[in-house]
Amino acid sequence: MQGRSLDELQKRYNKAAADKKQNFGPPGRPARNRQGAPEGKPKNTGKTVKRLWSYISKYKFRLILVVLLMLTSTSTALAGSYIMRPLINRLVYDDAPAQEKIAYLAHMLIIIGGIYLAGIVTGYLQNRLMLRVSTSASERIRNDLFNSLQALPIRFFDSETTGGIMSRFTNDIDNIDLMMNQTITQLVSAAITLIGTFCLMVYTSWQLTIVIVAFVPLLLAAVSFVAKRSSKYYTEQQSALGAVNGYIEESVTGQKVVKVFNHESACVDEFELLNNDMRRKQMGAQFFGGLMGPVMHNITQICYAVTAGVGGLLCLLAGFDIGGVSIFASYARQFSMPISTVSQQTSTIFAALAGAERVFAVMDAKPEKINDLVNTEPSISGCVELRDVTFGYLPGKTVLRNISLTAEPGRKIAFVGSTGAGKTTITNLINRFYEIDSGTITFDGTDIREIDRDYLRKNIAMVLQDTHLFTGTVMENIRYGRLDATDDEVVQAAKTASAHSFIMRLADGYNTVIEGDGANLSQGQRQLLNIARAAISKAPILVLDEATSSVDTRTERHIEHGMDRLMKNRTTFVIAHRLSTVRNSDAIMVLERGEIIERGTHDELLALKGRYYELYTGVRELD
């Protein structure tokens, strides 16, 4: 870990680059993609814009009203500027008494004030309406994304990290919302202002308009120069930020390991390396990002000075009015603002469209296959049979080969073997988390593919090695196994799992709120709640995947009787590294490299003096 270069650190911890992948799963499974915020331009702009429009177009009436209000707001701004022309000319050229000029000035100021007040009101209403449209559209996108996630197979979550999925709901949708709420209105407003200002300039003086137009190539060249360089540095900044965030996430998560092996100094050095790199790239991004304003301002000032000078000459030589020169000079300043606005919003648009593509890619991911067969909800008593089942997570990489076994109702089947032998994979197939490559799996004689997926899983209760508790009370977490369970049934399930005694010692008993995935509980207590959750289910089939691996020997003895009660009259599949927990199984399957190499009861397998005998007696160990 110590002495790694900056390039190596960035390669390992850069979550921002979508093409940087790192494998976090078991051998043979798809690599997980550590994705963060989107970079670069969208791949299919037209298709993405069209799809975003389908969300916004639901509010056509509001959008029409927004455009009308925008036209009104922009028109009032232009009218307020133009009305200064007759006001200035009247005050300069009219020989009327001073009292009349003051009265006229007061009258015109009231009119101008009314015009700008109307602009303020319409601008406020426009922003409010557009905010309603953007937040409503974002809400619908977020709902559709979440609904799509619920329909996706486990295979999808094997290839995505939690952070990558969460970034769709946070960074990506936030960028989309920002574009819809602010960028679109600013671009439309800028276009209206540009057209309106140009028309008024031509109407006021075509000669001065030529002067302004002559500066447009210079403005565009400056915008292009700054935008290209700022875009480069902003991309590098995102990449560096992703590397820093990835390193922080991994260091915080593995803090115990860091301290155990005394790697604090190495972590500090590596973080300082990444942090300094991000600082350098931030300086470049912020410098060029902040350069746009001064460059546009100075060019505008030059344009303003030239326009005023030429306007003054027209007044002296061609009889042009002073009021016209004044308002045209104002237009000269306004004319560059829309161009600057458009250039500054480019990166926001690209980020939003790239984020939208990532969101829509999840929505378009292939969902779990929906059964359209007639026999979708057969009676399941617990007879499970696998015949010549072959499966691999990736094409060409077989994990299970020709697995055949039969589990009669109420029987206990145990799987033992080395890590990666395929034990958990079998239980994943029984739950139909994945589709088998060949062979058949039947429940009471009905092919698993002919059973409704939701109905199938209602008939299977699972206790996984990795516990997961939701934010809520202890009672709510146990009831998650069967939502219609009564409080008494929840308590009985906790007693079955030997969890009742420790629950009653909690501050609020069954009403104790669990947060942070049970951070206020020990690993053993979390597993006991997980077991209680399975106990409350009435499913005839039970899967225990290393269910007691996180509890100590004393706790394990305490829950053995409860587990026996839990498994009574249920078909049970047990995966265990502690061979002492599978001795009373009706059948033990010994797996090696995806194949069942031995099967039988505990005594029968010991008599064979094969692989199971070696594992049980300690001649060989589970690796």
Q: What pLDDT does residue 623 have?
A: 52
Q: What pLDDT does residue 28 have?
A: 35
Q: How far apart are CA 566 and CA 537, in angstroms?
A: 10
- Strands 595-600 and 587-592, how do they pair? antiparallel
Look at the pTM and tell me if it is higher than 0.85.
Answer: no
Q: Does 198 fall in a domain?
A: yes
Helix, strand, coil percent content, the chain, rounded in steps of 5: 65, 10, 25
How many independent structural domains does the chain possess? Answer: 3
Q: How far apart are CA 184 and CA 219, in angstroms?
A: 22
- Checking if the pLDDT of 579 tops 80, the result is no
Q: List the structure tokens of 474.
A: 């202890």
Q: What pLDDT does residue 374 have?
A: 47
Residue ending a domain, choose from 498, 515, 538: 538
Residue ending a domain, choose from 538, 566, 596: 538
Residues 503-509 have a mean pLDDT of 91
pLDDT digits (tens, 9 = 90+) for 57-73: 888 899 899 989 988 98
301 and 226 housed in the same domain:
yes
List, in sequence order, the alpha helices (H) in 152-205.
Answer: 154-158, 162-167, 173-178, 184-204
Q: How far apart are CA 543 and CA 571, in angstroms?
A: 9
**CA distances in angstroms from 97 to 102, 193, 354, listed in the order given:** 9, 38, 65
Q: What pLDDT does residue 17 have?
A: 40
432 or 296, greater pLDDT: 432
Q: Give the DSSP per-residue string, 431-475.
A: TTSS--SEEEEEETTEEGGGS-HHHHHHTEEEE-SS----SEEHH
pLDDT interval class at 37 (50, 70, 90): very low
- Checking if the pLDDT of 35 tops 50, the result is no
CA angle, corner 351, sides to 350 and 353, nearest 5? 65
395 or 24, greater pLDDT: 395
Instruction: Phi first, then psi: give them for residue 329, nearest 5 degrees.
Output: -60, -35
Residue ending a domain, choose from 538, 566, 589: 538
Residues 439-465 have a mean pLDDT of 88
155 and 241 housed in the same domain:
no
Q: Does 77 fall in a domain?
A: yes
73 and 210 housed in the same domain:
no
- Checking if the pLDDT of 117 tops 90, the result is yes
48 and 190 housed in the same domain:
yes
Q: What pLDDT does residue 13 have?
A: 60
Q: What CATH number does residue 184 fall under?
A: 1.20.1560.10
- Checking if the pLDDT of 552 tops 80, the result is no
106 and 156 housed in the same domain:
yes
The top-scoring range by mean pLDDT among 15-29, 139-153, 183-197, 329-343 is: 139-153
116 and 260 housed in the same domain:
no
Compute the mean pLDDT over every residue in the chain, rounded to the nearest whole number: 81
pLDDT interval class at 2 (50, 70, 90): very low
- Checking if the pLDDT of 85 tops 60, the result is yes
**CA distances in angstroms from 71 to 79, 264, 363, 589, listed in the order given:** 12, 60, 36, 76
Residues 178-191 have a mean pLDDT of 84
Q: Does 547 fall in a domain?
A: no
Q: What pLDDT does residue 200 have?
A: 85
Q: What pLDDT does residue 388 have?
A: 94
Give residue 357's domain range: 39-203+352-368
pLDDT digits (tens, 9 = 90+) for 299-332: 877 888 888 888 888 888 888 888 888 888 888 7
Q: Which long-range contacts (CB under 8 A, 24 or more apart) does 425-430 make?
A: 425/391, 425/399, 425/400, 426/386, 426/389, 426/400, 426/573, 427/462, 427/543, 427/545, 427/573, 427/575, 428/154, 429/386, 429/389, 429/391, 429/400, 430/384, 430/460, 430/541, 430/543, 430/573
386 or 563, greater pLDDT: 386
pLDDT interval class at 338 (50, 70, 90): confident
Q: What pLDDT does residue 23 have?
A: 31
Q: How far apart are CA 361 and CA 144, in angstroms?
A: 12
CA-closest candidate to residue 215, choices 308, 336, 334, 344: 336
172 and 211 housed in the same domain:
no
Q: Which long-range contacts (CB under 8 A, 24 or more apart) does 373-377 make?
A: 373/449, 373/450, 375/446, 375/450, 375/451, 376/450, 376/451, 376/452, 376/455, 377/451, 377/452, 377/455
Q: Does 416 fall in a domain?
A: no
Q: Does 342 fall in a domain?
A: no
pLDDT interval class at 376 (50, 70, 90): low
**CA distances in angstroms from 577 to 25, 220, 531, 550, listed in the order given:** 20, 69, 18, 12
Least confident piece of the model among 12-21, 112-121, 241-250, 410-419? 12-21
176 and 246 housed in the same domain:
no
57 and 133 housed in the same domain:
yes
Q: Does 384 fall in a domain?
A: no
Q: Does 443 fall in a domain?
A: no
Q: What CATH number does residue 485 fall under?
A: 3.40.50.300
179 and 69 housed in the same domain:
yes
How many percent of the chain have pLDDT more than 90? 17
229 and 92 housed in the same domain:
no
Q: What pLDDT does residue 463 have?
A: 83
Is residue 308 within 8 Å of residue 161, measured between CB atoms?
no
Residue matched to tokens 């209680």: 532
Residues 38-63 have a mean pLDDT of 80
Residues 339-349 have a mean pLDDT of 73
Q: Does 180 fall in a domain?
A: yes
196 and 78 housed in the same domain:
yes
Q: How far apart are CA 341 and CA 359, in angstroms?
A: 27
CA atoms within 13 A on the CB side of 497: 29
